[in-house]
Structure 1
Amino acid sequence: MSNFIVKKVAVLGAGVMGAQIAAHCVNARVPVLLFDLPAKEGPKNGIALRAIENLKKLSPAPLADKDLAALITPANYEENLAQLAECDLVIEAIAERMDWKHDLYAKVAPHIGANAIFASNTSGLSITALSEGFAAELKSRFCGVHFFNPPRYMHLVELIPTPATQPEILDRLEAFLTTTLGKGVVRAFDTPNFIANRVGIFGMLATMKEAEKFGLSVDVVDDLTGARLGRAKSGTFRTADVVGLDTMGHVIKTMQDNLKDDPFYEVYATPPLLAKLIEAGALGQKAGAGFYKKVGRDIQRVDPASGGYVAGGAKADDFVARVLKEKDAAKRMKALHDSTNPQAQFLWAIFRDAFHYIALHLESVANNARDVDLALRWGFGWNMGPFESWQAAGWKQIAQWVQEDIEAGRALSKAPLPAWVFDGRDGVHTPAGSWSPKKNAYVPRSTLPVYARQAFRAPVLGEAAPEGAKAGETVFEDDSVRIWHGGDDVLVLSLKTKMHVIGPGVIDGITRAVDEAERNYQGLVIWNSDAAAGGAFSAGADLQAMMPVFMSGGAKAIGPEVARLQAAHQRLKYAQVPVVAAVAGLALGGGCELMLHAARRVVALESYVGLVEVGVGLVPAGGGLKEIAVRAAQAAQGNDILQFLKNGFMAAATATVSKSAHEARKMGYLSQDDVIVFNPYELLHVARSQARAMFDAGYRPPLAAPVPVVGRYGIATIGAQLINMRDGGFISAHDYKLGLMIAEIVCGGDVDAGSLVNEQWLLDLERKAFVELLGNPKTQERIMGMVQTGKPVRN
């Protein structure tokens, strides 16, 4: 397959979705032309300009770094259509009106480049109907590309062809979406609302209908259908508020207008409460009221009887909460099915409705069952897809119960389950692939070259695919780490502790891994098997593991443990083979320091990096402050080092955490040589490639050179600023103490400006300050507060 290089993207429509799709493209450093109508007043590009400025203000932030907004060029349909010829990909993202889209297509089609892909970001309109009127050549390059909101954070993109779309167009676009934009691509049929919205919105409608039947309030339903079911914390009604009730109403109307022969058609009726809220302008979060309304500090819920808002916060019954904690899926589902508790009956009903629906519609909406499960996981935040849930709970038993409910009139449709459900199978996912009723076969995974970059693809229950936690050949394993390789020349160190915190076992594992890599391998990669599933790289030092040492020997007993951590990190830094840290998620405190001591970092875009020890009343002591001092001295190249220290000092003193890998680079935690990866499933592949390339280039570790420091002059300068912050009430007295200690370390201690020290000198300053603070009552309050509540204490 020839390369599809996207040098520039055009996005047509600067509304919420269009602007945020543009933002995510520039996150990947792909320049964008953002089009909208010419403004009636002021600059012709005023609408697009305002949209670009608004991107800098939104939360969650669409831009991984606000400066990236400069890569978005505003444009309008009156003056700038000729610039479309420069674009390799054109994405239309205007309002969901077929007539408006056709009018726009007629205007832009003559200007689209001869080799460009043209796509619509519609959430549910027919892609084939949208392509009507196109010349045959453009029609062959047209498809649907449905991003989920917000585009930066939602992993799912649905790719929808028309009968005329060239297959290679889809392959090229899938590769771009997967690697460059970091998405999980699911190919959908051209049916109303495609896969995720079709199944997901049905699920929400069924939930609302069953909630009304069982008399459950919106807050109870959200508690039942959120994290307790392994789904988005916002549950059902809160999710609708976040999406926008008008948006949900539009998706429902698409189903009403286009699915009149559907056996579940009656379920597509707009729920009366939803219709009433939309009519009143209570459109959810963006309008300040929907199913919920914030009043002062309280979150109130809508009362269906009165239409007003009442106190919320009701939770699941204790019995149901206990049932949902049962780890055995079959036992859990049986308890819900058999119980007379209304909440349990409600949960069985919504599971039954979902299983009934996906079995009936699988053939018409998706190529196979895997695509349905991945679409719901990636698009709606479910930990497990609906087919996976069915299979995990016992396929045959669940099928029998669902059919019994259908025959008894308890289900939402009288349509029987398809015959294939009862053909003796134990599920739809097997090592051979996932079931496709249309093909009457199990369909294997895509073999597009882009997926060779994913050593461990998103797993599906029953598939028996390689797992990152078990794959390869283990060299050493204990409760803290696994050291292994995939049959190649790069060793991998994976942390196994909760949140991958760093305790004595991990420290030993680091040293063992470096020793083994130097003996037998070309490089070492630090990578965790849950990197793509939202796991932390490392949440820092294991405070609880230090408690017994502290209780038996006091603060001084911790000193040798800190020295061991420092030595392990130095061992990484000066290893004779390249060490690459493959980072995704949280890299906090000791996790940030672990990352800093690698020869190179390969970092997922959604990585949140920072030295946060002041939150527990401590200072970084694993070499993080030493690295700030070393890097500042290297960057200064003979100029005033203090100017290069300021950012690093402030980040550590205020426990600032980057909101993306791009921000981590601006904060100094990543160098220009470090690599930012958009798809976390590709993290291990890129990290291994970097290690091999460094080895092949003749890698040598850095020399342990003397470090020039600013000494007393720097401490006094920073100290004066800290006094002003303390006296102005911006920081507490203990924060002042912590800030001054950090300043003393990064400035090199009580020495003259320009003095040369070695790294061990700086590490000794870190360790001394850390041990001193452990004996401080204010620090002890912060540590105990964090251990007990997981939240920082301000004192």
Structure 2
Amino acid sequence: MAEEAKNVVVLGAGVMGGQIAALLACAGHKVHLLDLPLAGDEAGRARQGLEKTLANRPPAFYLAEMAQRIQLGSLEDLACVGEADWVIEAVVEENAPKRALLARLEPYLHDGLIISSNTSGLSIAELARGRSPEFCRRFLGVHFFNPPRYMKLVEVIPGSDTEPAIVQQMVDFLAGELGKGVVCGRDTPNFIGNRLWVFAACDMLQRMERDGLSVAEVDALTGPLMGRPPSATLRVCDIVGLDTVAHVAETSYEGLPEDPWRSLFALPAFYRRMLEENLLGAKVNAGFYRKAEAGIESLDLDTFDYQPLQKVELGALESALSERSPERRLRALWNDSGPWGQLGRAHLMAVLSYAAEHAADIAGDIGQIDQAMCWGFNWALGPFELWDLFGVEEVVSGLEANQQRVPDLAAQLLDVGETHFYHEKGAFSPTRLRRESWQPPADDWDKLAAERAIWSNDGAYLVELDEGLGALVFSGKMNVLGPAALEAVHHAVDTAPFTGLVLAGAGSLFSVGADLKHVAKLVDESDWAGLEAFVAAFQEAVQALRYASFPVVAALRGLVLGGGCEFALGAAGRVATAELGMGLVETKVGLIPGSGGCMEMARRGASDIGVAFETIFTGNFSDSAFQAQAWGLLGADDEIVFAEGQLLKRAAARLRSLFATGYCANTLDGVEVTGDEGLALLHERIDADRAAGQLSEHDVVVGRGLARVLTGGGGARRQVEERDLLDLEREVFLQLCGTKRTRERIAHMLHTGKPLKN
């Protein structure tokens, strides 16, 4: 595929085809989406598929208008394949129709073309049977997990004749441009992720039937306690669809006749009854769980009636659930001598044994297997990381004590004197039976690790990067911004020996904003002087970055909320990941942005103050960087990247580009405000929404305060000094803090994590 925008053809506009087309269109590529024609409308089915994709929740497109990048067509006319860089087959998950469609691509083969199937587990060799050598060398499996926009894992499955350079080209594109976690598997039924997940699910389903476990008990055991997500086992079945899970289990059963564990893939009687009674999960609001008016109910497998979901008592393991470390939770479960520990240990030993038994067959690389389970199913640790956590010798002893077969791979590891599958930068090869060099995928974000700090306090730390660049990293729980973080900003601006600074957040997010607990404490103590000093210090810190002698680029990912958003707005430039929750959310607690956010939005919205008001007053945060850009929180020249691993690299590149274009420190300039004209317009909007019952009395108070700041307090349309606007911002912020209803909103948010409408 060429370096410029790819020309992609997606064959099949169903659930997966439509979403894959959406992802690639959002990434800026030219996409043709083809499906069967309808009478009188060649692109009819493709159009229907696109309409369904546009209606997806969560949304498949970052912005609805990005769908206009997709050209619709018919599978009866494949001429566009002749100009394509990549053709993705995504029709129904059956061999016959896939093979028939792939055969029709032969006349269109040309240099540079890659052809892939999005099959989730069918044989790549079987799909390619009968195709020409030229077709086979450019054909492979590329399995996106559903939904493609949000799921990190993509499995790449080469055929026996696939050209290695094409495999690497696809891996580089998926990881580097789309930001996916890519694993390469072997051409075995259900590949890596689905094969291991459905084994783990079927093992619990069998134990459920044998031991009489309830729905709630299974998920209490196999969720966070086991280092897996809260959706655990049976909620995942509901989300995926019980029929889909059954299809994956049956594919494994039919396709693995020599597998010693094959019988486990046979679904128990209660599961087959659920299929017969159309209890298929979330898509019909009836599976292992259902939503009722009174709340969530679970299926009683004795009566097949739904009952209110009951909390499961885990005894001594209850305290383990409060552990933040998944390793500690898992170790507590493994060491527990009670019935839950025995059951959990038995299930984990089965999963670990199965992974070790088949590692060579399904991947030939234990790292690929672990990454597949972590990226695809949100397991905190993959099976071989679990072997090492519990100790290979300890797991083997447990299997022997239970008179269970010890996997050859584990026995061979111990025979050569090894005790762990991983060690420093090496991993034990399941094919060569020796330790080989292995490293997890490189992530530049590791350069921001706290261990590399050259200075730190309780709110942030400084890290030295390359070529005279540095990074100021907000840290702490959710990277909230309190006095220590503000002090760190001044330290970075005044004393750090850098020519440019990246502003970032530790972990997976930038910052959720100002320390609301600190604000609430000052309000509760009626320490108005202290509160004003804190808000003024926040404003000064943002301004210090804005007017630093060197450029500052904000590297944004995860959540960028409230005061965090204000710092981002104050930077000289921004680079953001596509999946970004960015917003000025202060109105959700009855406040307004108090640290330059109003000023900056007034500056950006001078030509349409209503848009700036709407962005702030709704208190929402974006569901993508593209939406943040549409709201004016990111500029047209701010870069958006799909690969999080590229974020720091691109932020540093943005700093260098600022140097190259002769960066000069900002100088104080005024802000154009709309005065009485804008104030009247915003008051009219507020009054109309109040009359329509959309706003409470206190919403009106907040809205009028915000309108006052954005318009410079009324008067003539004019330029005002930044300091005057910041003073007005701070004045209104303090006034709102003094109201009873804002205090109630702050307290409710701190107690529940949810906004209060009062």
* TM-score (structure 1 length as normaliser): 0.92
Deviation string, structure 1 residues 5-52 (Cα, Å, up to 9, x no partner): 45211111111011111111112111211111112x341211110111
Deviations 1:518-566 (A, max 9, x none): xx32310012342xxxx22110110112344444452342111111111
Give the conservation status (yes or no) of the 8 Å contact 1:396–1:425. Answer: no
Letter of the 2:740 partner, please give it: P
What does residue range 770-789 of structure 1 map to in structure 2 within 5 Å?
770-789=733-752
> How far 1:437 sits from its partner (Å)?
1.6
Q: Percent identity?
A: 37
- Determine if contact 1:333/1:348 at 8 Å carries over to the other structure: no
The corresponding residue for 1:489 is 468
Q: 2:303 aligns with which of 303, 306, 328?
A: 306
CA offset at residue 431 of structure 1? 2.0
Worse overlay, 700-709 or 684-693: 700-709
Change (3 A) 1:269 1:558: same
Distance change in 2, residues 1:274/1:119 (3 Å): same
Match of 2:574 in 1: 601
Q: What's 1:581 paired with?
A: 554
Counterpart position of 1:30: 29
Deviations 1:719-758 (A, max 9, x none): 1221121122111000111011111111111321x22201
Instruction: Tell me the equivalent position of 2:642.
Output: 678
**Closer, same or farther in 2 for the Cα pair 1:748/1:347, shift >3 Å?**
same
Q: 1:600 corresponds to which letter in structure 2? A: G
Letter aligned with residue 507 of structure 1: L
How far apart, in 1, do the equivalents of 2:578 and 2:407 lie? Answer: 46
State the SS of the aligned residue for 2:505.
coil
Residue 51 of structure 1 corresponds to 49
SS at match of 1:391: helix
Instruction: Provide the rounded CA distance (Å) in 2 between the counterparts of 1:725 and 1:137.
Output: 64
Aligned equivalent of 1:434: 427
2:652 aligned partner: 688
1:718 to 679, 682, 688: 682
Does the Cα contact within 8 Å between 2:156 and 2:185 map onto a contact in 1? yes
What does residue range 166-245 of structure 1 map to in structure 2 within 5 Å? 166-245=163-242
Cα distance change of structure 1 residues 166 and 729 upon mapping to structure 2, 3 Å threshold: same
Give the one of 723, 728, 738 matched to 1:760.
723
For the 8 Å contact 1:403–1:416, the answer to whether it is kept is no
1:503 correspondence with 2:492: no
C-alpha distance in 2 between matches for 1:481 and 1:444: 35
CA RMSD across the alignment: 2.1
Q: CA deviation at 1:204?
A: 0.8
Distance 1:523 1:329, change over 3 A: closer
Quick check: 1:577–1:695 contact (8 Å CA) kept in 2? no
Range with bigger deviation, 664-673 or 553-562: 553-562
CA 1:793–1:333 in 2, change beyond 3 Å: closer, same or farther? closer
- Work out the CA distance in 1 between the residues paired with 2:326 and 2:613: 50
Residue 214 of structure 1 contacts residue 343 of structure 1 at CA under 8 Å; is this kept in 2? no
Cα-to-partner distance string for 1:289-345 (whole Å, 9 max, x where unaligned): 122222234222222222232222433424222244457888765654564533332
Could you list the runs of 5+ residues in structure 2 that have no partner in the other structure?
Answer: none
2:66 equivalent in structure 1? 68
- Structure 1, unpaired ranges of 5+: 457-465, 634-640
Partner Cα separation in structure 2 for residue 259 and residue 7 of structure 1: 38
Map Cα deviations across residues 342-364 of structure 1 (whole Å, 9 max, x no partner).
33322112111111111111111
| Residue 538 (structure 2) aligns with | 565
Aligned to 1:637: none
CA contact (8 A) 1:202 1:267 kept: yes
Q: Once the 2 structures are TM-superposed, how far is the Cα of residue 191 of structure 1 from its aligned partner?
A: 1.0
CA distance, structure 1, for counterparts of residue 326 and residue 644 of structure 2: 28
Task: Give a deviation string over 1:368-417, Cα, whole Å, max 9, x none.
Answer: 21111110000001122122122123332222113322x1xxx5x78676
Residues 94-105 of structure 1: pairs in structure 2 closer than 5 A: 94-105=91-102
Three-state SS of the structure 2 residue aligned to 1:123 is coil
Task: Label 1:669 to 1:333 Cα distance change in 2 as closer, same or farther (>3 A).
Answer: closer
Residue aligning to 2:90: 93
Q: Could you tell me how far apart the structure 1 residues matched to 2:669 and 2:406 are?
A: 78
Structure 1 range deviating more: 711-720 or 9-18: 711-720
Of the candidates 350, 357, 362, which is equivalent to residue 359 of structure 2?
A: 362
Alignment partner of 1:587: what SS?
strand
Please report how far the alpha carbon of residue 181 of structure 1 lies from its aligned counterpart in structure 2 after TM superposition.
1.1
Deviation at 1:145, TM superposition (A): 0.5
Inter-CA distance 623–100: structure 2 relative to 1 (3 Å threshold): same
Equivalent position to 1:81, from 64, 78, 82: 78
Partner of 1:460: none
Paired AA for residue 696 in structure 1: A
CA contact (8 A) 1:241 1:284 kept: yes
Aligned to 2:628: 664
* Displacement after TM superposition at 1:122 (Å): 0.6
State the distance in 2 between where 1:5 and 1:263 align. 48
Deviation at 1:85, TM superposition (A): 1.5
Q: For 2:553 and 2:301, locate their aligned partners in 1 and report how far apart those are by CA, in whole Å.
A: 56
Aligned with residue 163 of structure 1, among 160, 164, 169? 160
TM-score, length of structure 2 as denominator length: 0.96
Offset of 1:445 from its aligned partner?
4.2
CA distance in 1, matches of 2:510, 2:137: 43
Q: Which residue of 2 aligns with 1:704?
A: 668
Residues of 2 paired with 1:383 and 1:338: CA distance?
Answer: 18
Q: Is the 8 A contact 1:211 1:346 kept in 2?
A: no
Q: Matches of 1:761 and 1:695 in 2, distance apart?
A: 31
Aligned residues of 1:4 and 1:176 also touching (Cα < 8 A): no
Is the 8 Å Cα contact of residues 511 and 559 (structure 2) preserved in structure 1? yes
Task: Quote the Cα distance in structure 2 between the aligned partners of 1:211 and 1:203.
Answer: 12
CA–CA separation in structure 1 for the residues paired with 2:699 and 2:721: 28
Structure 1 residues 792 and 689, CA, compared in 2 at 3 Å: closer, same or farther? same
- Counterpart of 2:444 in 1: which secondary structure? coil
Paired residue secondary structure (1:527): strand
**CA distance, structure 2, for counterparts of residue 291 and residue 505 of structure 1:** 48
Q: For residues 551 and 303 of structure 1, do their structure 2 counterparts lie closer, same or farther at Cα, with a shift above 3 Å needed?
A: closer
Q: Distance in 2 between matches of 1:486 and 1:366?
A: 36
Match of 2:344 among 330, 336, 347: 347
**Does the residue aligned with 1:159 lie in a helix, a strand or coil?**
strand
Find the aligned partners of 1:516 and 1:92 in 2 and give their Cα distance.
57
Alignment CA distance shift 1:331-1:295 (3 Å): closer
Pair 751,345 (structure 1): closer, same or farther in 2 beyond 3 Å: same
Match of 1:463 in 2: none
Which of residues 711, 730, 734 in structure 1 aligns to 2:694? 730
Larger mean CA deviation between 396-405 and 690-699 belongs to 396-405
- In structure 1, the residue corresponding to 2:605 is in which secondary structure? helix
- Show the counterpart of 1:469: 449
- Which residue does 1:455 correspond to in 2? 444
Label 1:327 to 1:422 Cα distance change in 2 as closer, same or farther (>3 A).
Answer: farther
Structure 2 residue 539 is matched with structure 1 residue 591:
no
The 3 A distance-change label for structure 1 pair 620 and 696 is: same
In the other structure, the counterpart of 1:522 is 499
CA distance in structure 2 between the aligned counterparts of 1:165 and 1:594, rounded to whole angstroms: 49
What SS does the aligned partner of 2:751 have?
helix
The count of corresponding residues between Structure 1 and Structure 2 is 757
Q: 1:422 aligns with which of 414, 424, 438?
A: 414
Q: Specify the alignment match of 1:636 in structure 2.
A: none
Aligned-partner SS, 2:355: helix
Q: State the partner residue of 2:514.
A: 541
